[in-house]
Amino acid sequence: MIQFFNVTKKYDNGTLALDDINITIEKGEFVFLVGPSGAGKSTFTRLLIRETLPTKGQIMIDGKSILRLRGKEIAYLRRKMGFIFQDFRLLQDRTVYENVAFALEAMAAPISEVKRKVPQVLAMVGLEDKLNNFPNQLSGGEQQRVAIARAIINSPSILIADEPTGNLDPDNSLEIMKILNDINKRGTTVIMATHDSEIVNRVRKRVVVLKEGRLVRDEARGGYDFE
Ligand code: ADP
């Protein structure tokens, strides 16, 4: 469970990025975090991964404050999380297999586990026949699927997706949403920051709307209209 209590984030230059945010996200939920550019979505996710600290308030994950963690504990916290970005962030000089294996090897996984798990997770995202391709030999949608495989290979309890469909056409976007939905159904909490109102309106999950740093709407099965 993720809890924000009266969280305010003011950057050093005086910008009030988040203003008194209160929210609880239960384990296994799927949450769209929406709002116009500058609304505070990235600040929210940066606070969650303990990349920055709030000016005021408390943030708890599984009942424990994440504000006073030290180096090793921060690394441990992030191991519970997987990340997906708009621009995929794959290693261009490594194959699909190697991109995903790298994330497991970074956790000192034994080679037998790497050999077993990497093809398994790539099959889950429908890329079992692209193991030896390089990223530039894949479509955008396929590249994002590699990024998803990499994000979930360590079985994170929370998956944070920052505009994952931002660079994709509608068909590929829907494909990515199907995969994220499958991952969520297996018990992973998914938090997806997005501008993509078509996706939000189609998928019908919990929608949390930020506007100028304030949480202005929170609906269990919401939609989203741009103003
Ligand atoms: P979003 O992700 O919704 O576009 P952000 O969280 O990136 O919103 O930004 C919220 C506000 O905080 C914006 O006004 C932005 O300019 C400001 N901001 C973001 N990061 C910083 C920073 N590192 N220093 C100062 N201001 C920042």
Delineate the domains of the chain, giving CATH numbers in brackets.
2-218 (3.40.50.300)
Nearest atom within ligand 1 for CA of residue 52:
23
Q: How far apart are the first and last CA of the chain?
A: 31
Give residue for tokens 């609880």.
Answer: 24
Q: How far is the CA of 42 from the centre of ligand 1 (A)?
A: 7
**Token pair for 5:** 């209590």
Please, what is the average pLDDT of the chain?
95
Q: What is the distance between the alpha carbons of residues 61 and 202, in angstroms, rounded to a whole number?
A: 29
Q: What is the distance between the alpha carbons of residues 204 and 31, in angstroms, rounded to a whole number?
A: 10
Give residue for tokens 């304030």.
Answer: 214
Whole-number pLDDT of residue 213? 97
Whole-number pLDDT of residue 226? 57
Nearest atom within ligand 1 for CA of residue 42:
2
Mapped onto helix, strand or coil, the DSSP state of residue 119 is helix
Please calculate the CA angle 82-190-34 and round it to the nearest 5 degrees: 115
Q: How far is the CA of 218 from the centre of ligand 1 (A)?
A: 21
**Are 166 and 86 spatial neighbours (Cβ–Cβ below 8 Å)?**
yes
Integer CA distances (angstroms), 221 to 123, 186, 194, in order: 30, 19, 16
Least Cα distance to 113 among 125, 124, 103, 123 occurs for 103
**Are 37 and 196 spatial neighbours (Cβ–Cβ below 8 Å)?**
no
Q: How far is the CA of 82 from the centre of ligand 1 (A)?
A: 22
Could you report the per-residue pLDDT of 155-209, keeping only the tens digit for each? 999 999 999 999 999 999 999 999 999 999 999 999 999 988 889 999 889 999 9
Tell me the HSE value of 141 on the side-chain side, using a 13 A CA sphere. Answer: 16
**Are 88 and 135 spatial neighbours (Cβ–Cβ below 8 Å)?**
yes
Q: What percent of the chain has pLDDT over 70?
A: 99
Which of 69-73, 128-132, 140-144, 221-225 is predicted with the least confidence, judged by mean pLDDT? 221-225
Whole-number pLDDT of residue 223? 75
